[in-house]
Chain A
Amino acid sequence: MESKIKITSFDDGIVVKISGELDSSKTSLYKEKIHQSMRTFGPRYMIWDLKDLTFLDSSGIGLILGRYNEIEKIRGVMGLVGLNAYSRKIISISGLFQIIKEYSSIKEFMKEEKINQ
């Protein structure tokens, strides 16, 4: 399945939705697209919606980690939603859960971070 990225914005943040197989052939392009949105919206919150992600390896982990470092710099908050068992496993092995939290839904992220919808 071909990978696609869709970035939507809300009040103070963006939702990055990635579907299909995310590998090294896509990560530089996606990094650029996310940076574009970051320049446009100046988000404090970044939510990764990985519900339709079917493949993940360390290049995808690096993409998330790189953006985490940027969001962290401006004291923002990042969250992961829609993880399937396989994505959760890869993310867990990489140690990403030590710094980025998983939420059951975008709604729950908003609620926990007290974001007005």
Chain B
Amino acid sequence: MSNSMELKFKASISNELLARQAIVAFISPINPTYEEIGEYKTIVSEAVSNSIIHGYHFDASKDVYLKATILEDEVEIIIRDYGVGIKNLEEAKMPHFTTRPDLERAGMGLTIIETLSDSFSISSVEGMGVKLIIRKKYSLDKTCDEQRV
């Protein structure tokens, strides 16, 4: 069932919805539960808003890239921007760390992504953007009591 997709969109907050809807449509062949759908949406939304807010400082002329691949037993999601990058990755990963407390986003984005995924890596060069690689396992055999879509 290997499949992949790439999406490039403007760094506008309204495109968070587009990115979420795209990932939900893309993963439908793995027959996700409602809870899994919610998790994928949150992961993508957190990553995309990080790129828009921190990477590009709301500059909607810039582009965010979302790439997803369905592998044998996991889904790989790559979110990429070419914005300002992250100075200190360890600091950025700390819960409640944020460079923009005024925006009330709780500084939890990366912590939430990390918790909801099976593996997560972040790389950045200051001034050259951020690349997030997220992997999340799936199973096609689900127990009967799990909700299906």
CB < 8 Å neighbour of A62 from B16, B38, B95, B104 = B104
Assess whether A56 is interfacial by the CB under 8 Å rule: yes
Interface-located stretch among A6-14, A42-50, A86-94, A109-117: A86-94
Residue pair B13, A62 in contact (C-beta under 8 Å): no
Number of chain A interface residues as a range: 20 to 34
Cβ < 8 Å to A, chain B residues 27-68: 34-35, 38-39, 41-42, 45-46, 49, 53
Cβ < 8 Å to B, chain A residues 11-67: 21, 23-25, 27, 31, 54-59, 61-63, 65-66
Assess whether A74 is interfacial by the CB under 8 Å rule: no
Assess whether A85 is interfacial by the CB under 8 Å rule: yes
Residue pair B104, A23 in contact (C-beta under 8 Å): no
Residue pair A24, B111 in contact (C-beta under 8 Å): no
- Give the Cβ gap from A66 to chain B, nearest Cβ, in Å: 4
- Give the Cβ gap from B28 to chain A, nearest Cβ, in Å: 17
Q: Which residue of A lies closest to B46 (CB)?
A: A57
From known contacts A24-B53, A25-B16, A94-B112, infer whether A62 and B42 are also in contact, taking CB-CB under 8 Å.
no
CB < 8 Å neighbour of B104 from A66, A85, A89 = A66
Main secondary structure of the interface of A (DSSP, over half): helix
- Give the Cβ gap from B106 to chain A, nearest Cβ, in Å: 4
Residue pair B106, A24 in contact (C-beta under 8 Å): no
Residue pair B112, A25 in contact (C-beta under 8 Å): no
Residue pair A90, B106 in contact (C-beta under 8 Å): no
- Give the Cβ gap from B81 to chain A, nearest Cβ, in Å: 15
Assess whether B83 is interfacial by the CB under 8 Å rule: no
From known contacts A89-B35, A93-B111, infer whether A61 and B106 are also in contact, taking CB-CB under 8 Å.
yes
Could you say which of B14, B17, B20, B105 has the most chain A C-beta atoms within 10 Å of its C-beta?
Answer: B105
Residue pair B17, A23 in contact (C-beta under 8 Å): yes
From known contacts A23-B16, A55-B20, infer whether A90 and B42 are also in contact, taking CB-CB under 8 Å.
yes
From known contacts A93-B111, A93-B115, A93-B116, infer whether A25 and B105 are also in contact, taking CB-CB under 8 Å.
no
- Give the Cβ gap from B97 to chain A, nearest Cβ, in Å: 12
**Cβ of B85: which chain A residues have Cβ within 8 Å of it?**
none
Residue pair A93, B108 in contact (C-beta under 8 Å): yes
Residue pair B95, A57 in contact (C-beta under 8 Å): no
Residues of A within 8 A of B (CB): 21, 23-25, 27, 31, 54-59, 61-63, 65-66, 85-86, 89-90, 93-95
What are the nearest 10 A-B pairs in CB distance? A62-B104, A86-B38, A62-B106, A58-B108, A66-B104, A62-B105, A61-B106, A57-B45, A93-B115, A25-B13
